[in-house]
Amino acid sequence: SRKTIINVTTPPKWKVKKQKLAEKAAREAELTAKKAQARQALSIYLNLPTLDEAVNTLKPWWPGLFDGDTPRLLACGIRDVLLEDVAQRNIPLSHKKLRRALKAITRSESYLCAMKAGACRYDTEGYVTEHISQEEEVYAAERLDKI
């Protein structure tokens, strides 16, 4: 009976590392593709305007909410105040348009990045009403991670 000797060698570390990096890149690409599909599926239900469109919708009526073309951090409960203002001043803006514009602004990356503890929130006239708390900053950071 003949015996054969088999040498078992492990692949070099650089090869293993390269293979792991390739697998990780493939997983990340698959994850981004899934996220894009999920966003498209959601966009059917909720069609938000772009940030510029939202700013252009609200700026003529409430310039105090903006610092140039960038939106300021909005006071809590501003939607109800704006809806009341629409009714009082007979502004030609539907509830749906107003709500979608506010969502587009508050979900934007620049708005969430500005939410740091101690930053000021503004009312419709542009006056400071309150400051951002630590919990709100953490919440904004979590929302940013989802984007």
Q: What is the CATH number of the domain that holds 68?
A: 1.10.1710.10
Same domain, yes or no: 40 and 58: no
Is residue 72 within 8 A of residue 130, CB to CB? The reply is no
Q: What is the pLDDT of residues 85-132, one digit of tens each?
A: 999 999 999 999 999 999 999 999 999 999 998 999 999 988 999 999
Report the distance separating Cα 56 and Cα 61, nearest Å: 10
The pLDDT confidence band at residue 4, using thresholds 50, 70 and 90, is confident
- Per-residue pLDDT averaged across 11-25, rounded? 93
Report the distance separating Cα 83 and Cα 93, nearest Å: 9
Which residue range is the domain that position 119 belongs to? Answer: 51-146
Q: Return the residue matching tokens 């990780």.
A: 24
pLDDT value for 100: 92
**How many CB atoms are closer than 10 A to CB 138?**
12
Same domain, yes or no: 99 and 139: yes
Report the distance separating Cα 122 and Cα 76, nearest Å: 9
Domain total of the chain:
2
pLDDT value for 60: 92
Same domain, yes or no: 72 and 122: yes
Residue 1 pLDDT > 70, yes or no? Answer: no
Amino acid at 116: K
- Give the pair of three-digit tokens for residue 5: 């000797």
pTM comes to 0.66
Evaluate whether residue 59 is within a structural domain.
Answer: yes
pLDDT value for 44: 61
Same domain, yes or no: 62 and 128: yes
Q: What is the pLDDT of residues 23-65, one digit of tens each?
A: 999 999 999 999 888 877 776 666 788 889 999 999 999 999 9
Q: Which one has a higher pLDDT value, 23 or 7?
A: 23
